């Protein structure tokens, strides 16, 4: 009987610690993204040429819909800012580097062919986390922020053909 009582005590203790959390944060990414260069004119006549995704979010045809949120509970709060950052897992292949994939806030114009780097708010993915946004945490209750994220792929003359994929990571944390 004692081991069972001890186990129940530990479970109650762990559950109680979760109940008294003062600020909760969340992230939702609504879809995968795909660049199928068999569906577009490839290879291009000018390098580099930038391509939008051929498969993306139903809410953002140029990428994803990133939703970040927080909920403050009670009068004592753990954090004052929520940070959102992203990175990639590594290169697509030996000739297709990760930094040929770019991200920007939703609505960023497609760069013209032959321009390198793409300019505007486009940033190349890296294996290191890059901050996308810092949101100030204020007021009680649940707050959600929708942030469309656009992607482009930069085709270069030495890109090998084939099916390659990478993983994109999004990190949300509070300080």
**Domain tally for the chain?**
1
80 is a domain residue: yes
Range of the domain at 148: 22-174
Measured CA distances, 149 to 62, 153, 174 (Å): 8, 14, 21
pLDDT surpassing 60 at residue 3? no
137 is a domain residue: yes
166 is a domain residue: yes
Q: Do 130 and 101 touch, CB atoms closer than 8 A?
A: no
17 is a domain residue: no
52 is a domain residue: yes
pLDDT digits (tens, 9 = 90+) for 65-101: 999 999 988 777 778 899 999 999 999 999 999 999 9
10 is a domain residue: no
162 is a domain residue: yes
Could you tell me the pTM of the whole model? 0.85
pLDDT digits (tens, 9 = 90+) for 142-161: 999 999 999 999 999 999 88
């Amino acid at each position: 009987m004692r081991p069972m009582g001890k186990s129940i005590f530990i479970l109650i203790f762990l559950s109680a610690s979760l109940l008294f959390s003062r600020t909760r944060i969340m992230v939702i990414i609504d879809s995968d993204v795909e660049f199928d260069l068999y569906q577009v004119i490839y290879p291009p006549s000018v390098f580099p040429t930038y391509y939008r995704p051929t498969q993306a979010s139903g809410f953002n045809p140029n990428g994803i819909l990133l939703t970040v949120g927080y909920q403050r509970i009670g009068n004592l709060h753990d954090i004052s800012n929520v940070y959102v950052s992203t990175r990639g897992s590594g290169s697509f292949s030996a000739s297709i580097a990760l930094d040929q994939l770019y991200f920007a806030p939703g609505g960023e114009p497609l760069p013209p062919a032959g321009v390198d780097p793409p300019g505007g708010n486009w940033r190349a993915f890296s294996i290191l986390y890059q901050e996308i946004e810092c949101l100030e945490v204020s007021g009680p209750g649940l707050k959600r922020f929708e942030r469309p994220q656009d992607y482009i792929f930069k085709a270069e003359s030495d890109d090998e053909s084939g099916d390659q994929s990478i993983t994109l990571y999004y990190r949300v944390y509070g300080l």
